Amino acid sequence: MRNNSTLAVLIFTRDITYNPERLTIYARITVDRRRAEISLKRYTSVNVWDASKGRITGTTQRARLLNSYLDEVYVQIMEAHKNYFPKER
């Protein structure tokens, strides 16, 4: 059986209602046009979030750690998709 499933992963933020300067980071996973969103339980400031890249700007240690975590989450999602929908050889 051939794998024809599609996968898209989007890292994005949403405002916190009680603090407009703080954003909650989410991951949206879309497989075959079905969406699921999960909170990554991480927060960032409005000033340092780059929405086009889905990453924190800057080279501070906090920015590097958070971007590294986001990369790790992305890889784990990709591996889970690969294991769930293995390609036929």
pLDDT of residue 11 exceeding 50: yes
- pLDDT > 90? residue 68: yes
Cβ–Cβ under 8 Å, residues 11 and 27: yes
Residue 88 has pLDDT above 80, yes or no: no
CA distances from 59 to 9, 26, 42, 63 (A): 24, 22, 18, 6
Paired with 24 in beta bridges are 14, 43
Give pLDDT, residue 17: 75
- The pLDDT assigned to 1 comes to 44
pTM of the entire predicted model:
0.85
Domain ranges of the chain: 7-84
pLDDT tens digits along 42-59: 999 999 999 999 999 999
